[in-house]
């Protein structure tokens, strides 16, 4: 029996599969070589007092380890990374740079992408959001151009693969139904390089297997 438990959804609709944020945690644990168990929940569990004690917003993932319960995928990945040289380098300056890029992935790159998703990833959800969506789409393009510029000539964000690349890759995956990554060869190749890692493949397979096992009959 593992000392680490990860709370995840037992099933989500196909458009969200492969994007739910427990993927980040599963991937980090796979890279760190840490075994874990799943605790699966559904909509009926999210608002229960017991679950809200572990995750105040009713979301996933939650990681439990040695009596500690953590929520927020970025915080969990950082916690795992601090236990593993595979995700966080030992040199002080390098560790700080990796942490900086972890925050950049979640604070500079992800928010406009999620906003665009809410307004319509491929087209506006309605005519009323067009001006706002255009502004947000422009911000996404700026962030992607800046990221591609930094990554030019580099395999990863800071030296070897790290927790920063793990988080950045999961952010870029949100754009999978568009050409925004594919149209930038630097980002396309970077994402492919990260997703080719065996640990990522195991993590994605574990998440998708969970969804397959619990799919509703009419899904």
pLDDT value for 135: 98
What lies within 8 Å, CB to CB, of 65 at 6+ separation is 3, 4, 5, 79
Buried b (16+ CB within 10 A) or exposed e, 61-78: bbbbbeeeebbbbbebbb
For range 45-57, the mean pLDDT: 97
pLDDT at 209 over 80: yes
CA angle 160, 100, 168 (to 5 degrees): 60
pLDDT value for 2: 73
Question: In Å, how far from its chain's centre is CA 121?
Answer: 18
Nearest-angstrom CA–CA distance, 79 and 103:
14
For residue 15, give the 3-state DSSP assignment: helix
- Phi, psi for 68 (deg, rounded to 5): -100, 135
Percentage with pLDDT > 90 across the chain: 98
For range 62-78, the mean pLDDT: 97
pLDDT value for 48: 97
**Alpha helices per DSSP H over 47-184:** 49-54, 73-81, 92-104, 110-120, 130-151, 163-172
DSSP 180: T
**Banded pLDDT at 218 (limits 50, 70, 90):** confident
For range 85-100, the mean pLDDT: 97
For range 93-103, the mean pLDDT: 98
Q: Both tokens of residue 18? A: 């492969």
The whole-chain average pLDDT of the chain stands at 97
Architecture per CATH, domain 4-85+199-213, reads as 3-Layer(aba) Sandwich (3.40)
pLDDT at 219 over 80: no
pLDDT value for 140: 98
Domain with CATH 3.40.30.10 in the chain: 4-85+199-213
For range 173-185, the mean pLDDT: 97
pTM: 0.97
For range 209-214, the mean pLDDT: 98
Nearest-angstrom CA–CA distance, 162 and 194:
10
92-197 CATH fold = Glutathione S-transferase Yfyf (Class Pi); Chain A, domain 2 (1.20.1050)
pLDDT at 207 over 90: yes
Tens digits of per-residue pLDDT, 109-150?
Answer: 999 999 999 999 999 999 999 999 999 999 999 999 999 999
pLDDT at 186 over 60: yes
For range 41-63, the mean pLDDT: 97
- Which of 63, 68, 70 has the alpha carbon at shortest distance from 26? 63
pLDDT at 1 over 80: no
Burial class (CB in 10 A: 0-12, 13-18, 19+), 209: exposed
pLDDT at 14 over 60: yes
- Which of 166, 216, 208 has the alpha carbon at shortest distance from 20? 208
**Banded pLDDT at 201 (limits 50, 70, 90):** very high
């Amino acid at each position: 029996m593992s000392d680490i438990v990860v709370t995840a959804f037992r099933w989500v609709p196909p458009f969200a599969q492969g994007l739910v944020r427990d993927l980040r945690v599963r991937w980090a644990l796979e890279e760190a070589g840490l075994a874990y168990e799943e605790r699966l929940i559904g909509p009926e569990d999210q608002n229960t007092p017991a679950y809200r004690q572990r995750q105040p917003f009713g979301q996933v993932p939650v990681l439990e380890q040695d009596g500690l319960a953590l929520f927020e995928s970025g915080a969990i990945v950082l916690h795992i990374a601090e236990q593993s040289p595979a995700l966080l380098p030992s040199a002080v300056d390098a560790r700080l740079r990796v942490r900086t890029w972890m925050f950049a992935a979640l604070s500079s790159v992800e928010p406009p992408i999620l906003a665009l998703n809410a307004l319509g990833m491929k087209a506006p959800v309605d005519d009323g959001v067009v001006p706002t969506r255009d502004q947000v789409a422009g911000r996404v393009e700026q962030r992607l151009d800046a990221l591609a510029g930094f990554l030019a000539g580099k395999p990863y964000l800071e030296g070897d693969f790290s927790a920063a690349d793990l988080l950045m890759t999961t952010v870029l995956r949100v754009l999978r139904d568009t050409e925004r990554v594919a149209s930038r060869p630097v980002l396309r190749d970077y994402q492919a390089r990260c997703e080719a890692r065996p640990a990522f493949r195991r993590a994605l397979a574990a998440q998708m297997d969970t969804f397959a096992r619990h799919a509703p009959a009419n899904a």
